[in-house]
Chains A and B, each alone.
Chain A
Amino acid sequence: MRQTEVLVIGGGPAGLSAALEAASLGCDVTLVDSDLALGGQLIKQTHKFFGSKEERAGTRGFKISEMLLEELHGYKDKIKVHTNCTATGYYKEDGVISCVIGEEKYFRIQAKKIVMATGAQERLLPFPKNHLPGVYGAGAVQTLMNVYGVAPGEKVIMVGAGNIGLIVSYQLMQAGVEIAGIVEAMDKIGGYWVHAAKIRRMGVPIYLRHTIKEAIGDQIVKGAVIQEINDKFQPTGTEIKIDADIICMAVGLTPTCEILWQAGCKMIYVPQLCGHVAQRDMNMRTSHPDIWVAGDAAGIEEASAAMVEGRIAGVGVAKSLGHGNASEQAKRLEDYKGRIADLRGGEVGQKICQGLKVCTVNQWEV
């Protein structure tokens, strides 16, 4: 059985930030991540981030990841990293976490405190033949083209005109892939206008008030039938058949929270945060006294917010272990809380704040 003071599950923006923060206050940290490289979804983000200056607005996502990894390098004595290592379960009787390296090499690890930064998974819409190879998540398409340099296909139907749908469409065009059209059920584009404008300029049709009816193909995707819908989301009868080899789903994410359920953390369904999330206090501690949560696992938001949440959780963990002095902890917490409030200041942030109200407690009863 391995032992660690702090275990961080997930090496994306939230997990990396939590590990760095905890280590900087003196904690010994083990960080596990199921992917082959650290950085989570940041490593596939080629666009420049919005948000605030502190959270590196104007910097491309993968560059932010590089900065975090450089910072991590400075703590190589305090943070032990395992990639290609999936946390597979939490055992309630003794608080042990089981992990698997690759597919077959298991080990157990016991931690005094755990930060769950397990991220999110993509949503899929129900439609006939949505199982066909060629129906890919938007994140998966980004992984193929932006991390591994593999063209995902020749012609893509994008489903969803939120920021992810728009950004990935643009990135596909940068990679030389044709966008057959963007399909959006709402009557307006959900993402930022600056992203939509780039795509419109390149002549890509955006089908508002349309939804995907079915995929076409026997073994793999050959296209899709899309249909117009009215303001009650009922089909009007107008259909369009589009040829494509990829149907890219950019219809949102939902928090990955199985391990939080397993650990018995109090969970609550919060639509504004896109699924079930753990209840947490102001420092991101869940109802379980030894478990913190941060990033998309705590509710779907931007990576910039995930980084600050990770920092807050990191301080919270260090504080509970008696690392660092009280004034330093308080100073950092105040700084991070101010920064995250700034990030949530806009229109999108209002929705997030509504959701957070539902799942945040002032303080857990002792």
Chain B
Amino acid sequence: MNLIEKHPIIDFKHGKKVTFSFDGKEMEGFEGDPIAAALHANGVRIYRETPIKEQTRGFFCAIGKCSSCFMVVDGVPNVRTCVTPLKVGMRVETQRGKGVIAMDAE
């Protein structure tokens, strides 16, 4: 993880280290941190592709207001990863297009 080790003012306190997956690849992050921050620390910059032009999108506002960082988390699309806390074993995927809402079998 690419973390700031030494800082003149802040003493960073991280939560418990946990593993999660990004597009099937195992990664480490701190429990309770936003998913987007954990991905960034692992060098991941591209979080989704837009529905029509298939342009890349990533982190932008970090406060859940802009929709740039929507991803598929544990099968749920359009998750604001900048304000969604990381949990152990989470399955995080790049969102391509609009995302599909899982329907219960009828």
Q: Interface on A for B, CB 8 Å cutoff? A: 34-36, 46, 60, 62, 84, 86, 102-104, 119, 121-122, 131-137, 139-140, 143-146, 148-152, 174-176, 219-220, 256
Contacts and interface: CB of A to CB of B under 8 A. Distances in A.
B66 A121 contact: yes
B56 A150 contact: no
A236 to B, nearest CB: 30
A328 B4 CA distance: 48
A36 B85 CA distance: 7
Contact of A149 (B3, B57, B65, B80): B3
Given A46-B10, A103-B79, A220-B46, A139 B61 contact: yes
Given A34-B64, A103-B76, A137-B60, A131 B4 contact: no
Contacts of A62: 10
A146 B4 CA distance: 9
Interface in B1-44: 1-4, 6-10, 12, 14, 30, 32-34, 37, 40-41
B88 interface: no
Given A36-B32, A175-B7, A150 B63 contact: no
Contacts of A132: 55-56, 58
A209 B1 CA distance: 38
Nearest to B79: A103
Would you call the interface of chain A mostly helix, strand, loop, or mixed?
Answer: loop
Q: Interface extent on B, as a size class?
A: 35 or more
B58 A134 contact: yes
A35 B4 contact: no
Contact of A102 (B7, B62, B84): B84
Interface of B: 1-4, 6-10, 12, 14, 30, 32-34, 37, 40-41, 45-47, 50, 55-66, 76, 78-80, 82-85
B73 to A, nearest CB: 8
B79 to A, nearest CB: 5
Contact of B62 (A86, A135, A140): A140
A220 B45 contact: yes
Nearest to B30: A148
10 contacts: A36-B85, A103-B78, A133-B59, A134-B58, A140-B82, A144-B62, A148-B30, A150-B4, A150-B40, A220-B46
A36 B34 contact: yes
A34 to B, nearest CB: 5
A103 B82 CA distance: 12
Contacts of B83: 34-36, 84
Nearest to A41: B63
Contacts of A136: 59-60, 62
A121 B60 contact: no
A149 B59 contact: no
A201 to B, nearest CB: 15
A273 B79 CA distance: 31
B13 to A, nearest CB: 9
Contacts of A150: 1-4, 37, 40-41
Contact of A133 (B8, B47, B84, B85): B47
A19 to B, nearest CB: 19
Nearest to A258: B65
B54 to A, nearest CB: 11
Nearest to A132: B56
